[in-house]
Amino acid sequence: MRTIDWVDGAVELIDQTRLPAECVTLRLHTVDELVEAIRRLAVRGAPALGVAGALGVVLARGDLEAVARLRAARPTAVNLAWGVDRAAAYLAEGQEAVLRAALRIRDDDIAACLAMGERGADLLQGDRLRIMTVCNTGALAAVERGTALGVVQTLHERGRLAEVLALETRPLLQGARLTAWELARMGAPHRLVADSAGPYLLARGGVDAVLIGADRIAANGDTANKIGSYALALGAERAGVPFIVVAPESTIDAATPSGDHIEIEDRGAEEIVSVAGVRVAPEGTKALNPAFDVTPHDLITAIVTDTRVIHP
Ligand code: MRU
């Protein structure tokens, strides 16, 4: 399965808003279509956004305002701006050079996820591992294979996975809709848990490691990831469970000194007062909806990238 690709002159991607009910592929021909797909999370997850950004520069055909709109479509995952900038660096050399650069980013992502899977699985001790994770960090968040869920996949292939506890990930339910779908396709044992059950289940002793992805890792190791990650990190620290971030080098933002400088996307009240489009809160209820949080580096046991293991 490829989450996103360049096919016959257009960007093709799986519309993740329709999963798990149906697996529909969208064909996008313009930057504005791609920006809309990014904003409504039809394509999402930091590595996939990096590839979307790079392929979007091909769609922009030299229109610098379109490139700027694409770069700003979502603020927290640094990979989007990274992918746009990498491809845009070839604009002066023409469309073919931009396309070659974007396809290199796609191919590098596939290789990076394989490398992270191996490195992460090598790092973990034990042969019947119970893993907790949040959001979706699988193939759907990248190109062919994921980051934290890529490690889970490698553990499963090596026969070392006992079970995954996947947090449902309110408000948009990436854990319930996407991670459970991917784990079922892998044939990996898993159970879905409410987000608020995470720290308690860690305290109860049923988890060997927490594996999460990242949207932006600051120079000091502070890590922005899906809202709920920080609560898991606190719970893991208290329970003495390793808390491991798995992300490609492209997610490390050396220009951002610490987590305080990371812009956190606020996605507005509607996603909170409703569940799957059904309003659950009374009319007029106000809401706060930070899509990400920041885990301070001292709560992170290790950051596994495609080239190294960092102990922040
Ligand atoms: O809002 P989303 O679904 O784009 O958030 C995604 C996450 O927080 C992922 O954990 C992160 O991008 C890493 S994906 C390998």
pLDDT in tens, 156-194: 999 999 999 999 999 999 999 999 999 999 999 999 999
Determine the Cα–Cα distance for residues 88 and 17; give it in Å rounded to an integer. 28
Active site positions, annotated: 215
Q: What CATH number does the domain containing 133 carry?
A: 3.40.50.10470
With the most atoms of ligand 1 within 8 angstroms of its CB, the residue from 147, 173, 226 to mutate is 226
Are 237 and 257 within one domain? yes
Q: Give the pLDDT score at 276.
A: 87
Q: What CATH number does the domain containing 75 carry?
A: 1.20.120.420
End-to-end CA distance of the chain: 34
Give the residue, by CA position, lying nearest to ligand 1 atom 10: 213
Among residues 6, 36, 32, 228, which one has the least CA distance to residue 105?
A: 6
Please list, in sequence order, all residues whose beta carbon lies within 8 angstroms of the beta carbon of residue 151, skipping any fewer than 6 positions away.
Answer: 116, 117, 120, 121, 124, 211, 246, 304
Are 101 and 132 within one domain? no
Distances (CA, A) of 303 to 39, 103, 214, 287: 28, 26, 10, 33
Q: How far is the CA of 117 from the centre of ligand 1 (A)?
A: 17
Are 180 and 256 within one domain? yes
Q: Name the pairing type of β-strands 302-304 and 309-310.
A: antiparallel
Q: How far is the CA of 135 from the centre of ligand 1 (A)?
A: 6
Q: How far is the CA of 213 from the centre of ligand 1 (A)?
A: 7
Give the residue, by CA position, lying nearest to ligand 1 atom 15: 137
Q: Cβ distance 63 to 82 under 8 Å? A: no
Q: State if residue 245 touches ligand 1 by the CB under 6 angstroms criterion.
A: no
Q: How far is the CA of 227 from the centre of ligand 1 (A)?
A: 10
Q: State if residue 147 touches ligand 1 by the CB under 6 angstroms criterion.
A: yes
Are 290 and 175 within one domain? yes
Are 205 and 232 within one domain? yes
Q: How far is the CA of 311 from the centre of ligand 1 (A)?
A: 22
Q: Give the pLDDT score at 222.
A: 98
Q: State if residue 251 touches ligand 1 by the CB under 6 angstroms criterion.
A: no
Residue where a domain stops, chosen among 111, 126, 144: 111
Give the residue, by CA position, lying nearest to ligand 1 atom 6: 45
With the most atoms of ligand 1 within 8 angstroms of its CB, the residue from 135, 144, 249, 267 to mutate is 135
Are 143 and 256 within one domain? yes
Are 279 and 131 within one domain? yes
Are 242 and 137 within one domain? yes
* 167 phi/psi in degrees, rounded to 5: -75, 140
Q: What is the pTM of this model?
A: 0.98
Q: State if residue 294 touches ligand 1 by the CB under 6 angstroms criterion.
A: no
Atom of ligand 1 nearest to the CA of 146: 15
Are 165 and 270 within one domain? yes
Residue where a domain stops, chosen among 89, 111, 133: 111
3-state secondary structure of 177: helix
Q: State if residue 139 touches ligand 1 by the CB under 6 angstroms criterion.
A: no
Q: Give the pLDDT score at 102.
A: 98
Count of domains for the chain = 2
How would residue 128 be classed by pLDDT, with cut points 50, 70 and 90?
very high
How would residue 1 be classed by pLDDT, with cut points 50, 70 and 90?
confident
Are 80 and 226 within one domain? no
Q: State if residue 74 touches ligand 1 by the CB under 6 angstroms criterion.
A: no
Q: Cβ distance 274 to 252 under 8 Å? A: no
Q: How far is the CA of 96 from the centre of ligand 1 (A)?
A: 30
Residue range(s) defining the domain that contains residue 159: 115-310
Q: Give the pLDDT score at 286.
A: 98
Are 138 and 72 within one domain? no
Residue where a domain stops, chosen among 111, 129, 152: 111
pLDDT in tens, 81-111: 999 999 999 999 999 999 999 999 999 999 9
With the most atoms of ligand 1 within 8 angstroms of its CB, the residue from 40, 78, 225, 294 to mutate is 225
Are 289 and 178 within one domain? yes
**pLDDT over 90 at 112, yes or no:** yes
pLDDT in tens, 273-294: 999 889 999 999 999 999 999 9
